[in-house]
Chains A and B, each alone.
Chain A
Amino acid sequence: MPSGFVIRKNQYYDSVFLMGISKRIADVPGVQRNAVLMGSETNKRLLADIDICDPQIDAAQPNDLVVAVIAETQQIVNDVLRRLDEFLLGGVQVASTSNPHSFEEGLAQKSNANLAVISVPGEYAAREARKALEAGLNVFLFSDNVSIDEELDLKQFAAEKKLLVMGPDCGTSLIGGIGIGFANVVRKGSIGAIGAAGTGLQEFTSQVHNAGFGISHAIGTGGHDLSDQIGGLTTLAALEALEADPATRVITIISKPPGTKTLARLIERFKTCTKPIIGCFLGAPAKPHETGANFQCAPTIDEAVWLAIRALGGEPDSNKADFSTEERQWIGREKASWSPEQKYVRGIFAGGTFCYQSQQIFRDAGILVYSNAPLEAKNKLRDSDQSLEHTFVDMGSDEYTLGKPHPMIDGTLRKQRILTESRDPQIAILLLDFILGYNASMDPVGELFDAILEARQNVKKRGGNLTVVASVCGTDGDPQDLNLQIKLLKEAGAIVFRSNAKAASFCCELLK
């Protein structure tokens, strides 16, 4: 197929901007594939994977823009590449000439800064984070691909300097009501949270808000913090800070199960904490840990919310765990509409925590689920693109997002997978999550709306019915219109829940 490329020397753009340009080029009729990337080694390998190879590309540097197009005709290829400036200008990123270009220049402009938010490519991220720590700033490190050794080094240095390193690979924090990265608009209150799981923190903080309570701070730690290699350095620093913080009355920790040594260290620390602590270690066995006078375990995020509210003396509406009469009627009606071969659920997730929590709920209900991000290695899909029986796919995992937008920003990846699943005669239930908040897609449901309708139509043509179960993580304050998103889902025929745990439990009921 005809292809071509251009290289723009010393023309650097951030990855989100480039993905937006790539999407606009993909919309041009006749374009089969395109890549809009900076010339890093990783990106050059991605280009080689789609057979775009040339000595000029080999020689490109990380601050050179590379745009490659594969299209039905050479005319289309040439036309897109000729119009590149038009696409770039339409992408809206207008680099102000007065903006600084390095951390040092930024610090010179804002010498009283107390937080560096870093989202540069991983290979440079630790270096920039170190500079920020040396200058006495706390760090929110969104970048991934930072090695565990670099993470340990940064966190040990931060501990010496009494500073906080949130991350690497930290998606979410809320500091005094301010959302950093992917965060929802929640009211201020007295529940503090520490989370290794980005969407887990979003779900927790949104649900606290939706229950009428508020968050003092929610501190992201990055996914490796509670591993024994890192030893929970950020979690422990955040715990100290929240214990000392007058606005915080109860502290919740949300994470995958910590390493054995780290868990022992945490539990020792919990014993001396002057505030109640709730641990939600997703994927752990139901009642795994020693609890104490001030430490309780919650198996799901929903239950962590209820325990936190109770610790404040509030009475959470935990009756919401039960299904309403209407929801129970859905179960009977939906099951009756399935054809005999329809028997499996396919969960296509944007949020890694939601994929993980859903698997835990299924495991505890005695239902085996396969996944590309399984609770136990034995349940790993051999081919992530090929679902097997009950399957939950984390579409935000690295294998899907390398060089492509994360499903929280753009629905393209999930759209394709939903349609693929709908062609399997054995699919009965489609389980989806939708995540609102700052920096997420402005219309996550709208992006998948047509795909959901088409998927349902595909199953209907075979004489069955596709049951669509969805959860929405968000609040009425989010930049997206929460009620409109829910309304759209209902119009698409979905059963909508305000919690992922409840949506997953509903699927278990459907399968009973």
Chain B
Amino acid sequence: MRQPMESKINELLQGPIIVINLGLQKFAESLEAQKVEVVQVDWVPPAGGDKEMLDLLERLL
């Protein structure tokens, strides 16, 4: 066994999985139907969708 059991990947496999869902609401709904703890993010393009502005903002922050 190479991987230490505390690996975050193995933590995920051992569960429970706890999800942040960015985008398609259907995916959050299907996870909720399986009794998974999930927070739905109603994602919108950052900086009004202006990628140049977004790059600029990220450089400033």
State how many angstroms separate the Cβ of B31 from the closest Cβ of chain A.
Answer: 7
Which chain A residue shows the least CB distance to B6? A162
Q: B20 to A176, Cβ gap below 8 A?
A: no
Chain A stretch 295-338: residues in CB contact (< 8 A) with chain B: none
Cα A96 to Cα B21 with chains together (Å): 14
Which chain A residue shows the least CB distance to B40? A99
Q: A106 to B45, Cβ gap below 8 A?
A: no
Is residue A58 contacting chain B, with contact meaning CB distance below 8 A?
no
Size category of the binding interface on chain A: 35 or more
Cα A242 to Cα B12 with chains together (Å): 11
Set B13, B43, B44, B46: member contacting A241, Cβ < 8 A: B13
Known contacts A12-B45, A120-B22, A180-B27; A164/B9 CB under 8 A: yes
Set A114, A116, A238: member contacting B22, Cβ < 8 A: A116
Q: A95 to B9, Cβ gap below 8 A?
A: no
Q: A163 to B9, Cβ gap below 8 A?
A: yes
Cα A117 to Cα B25 with chains together (Å): 11
Set A15, A16, A117, A127: member contacting B19, Cβ < 8 A: A117
Q: B24 to A63, Cβ gap below 8 A?
A: no
Query: Please, how many residues of chain B have a CB less than 8 angstroms from a CB on the other chain?
Result: 45
Q: Residue among B1, B5, B24 with the most chain A CB within 10 A?
A: B24
Is residue A40 contacting chain B, with contact meaning CB distance below 8 A?
yes
Chain B stretch 6-61: residues in CB contact (< 8 A) with chain A: 7-28, 30-31, 33-34, 36-37, 39-46, 48-51, 54
Other 17 A-B pairs with CB < 8 A, given A117-B28, A132-B20, A245-B10: A12-B45, A14-B43, A110-B39, A115-B17, A115-B19, A116-B22, A117-B20, A137-B20, A138-B8, A138-B12, A164-B8, A164-B12, A178-B34, A217-B13, A241-B10, A243-B1, A244-B10
B residues in contact with A438, CB < 8 Å: 30, 33-34
Cα A126 to Cα B30 with chains together (Å): 24
Q: A175 to B15, Cβ gap below 8 A?
A: yes
Set A99, A142, A176, A241: member contacting B42, Cβ < 8 A: A99
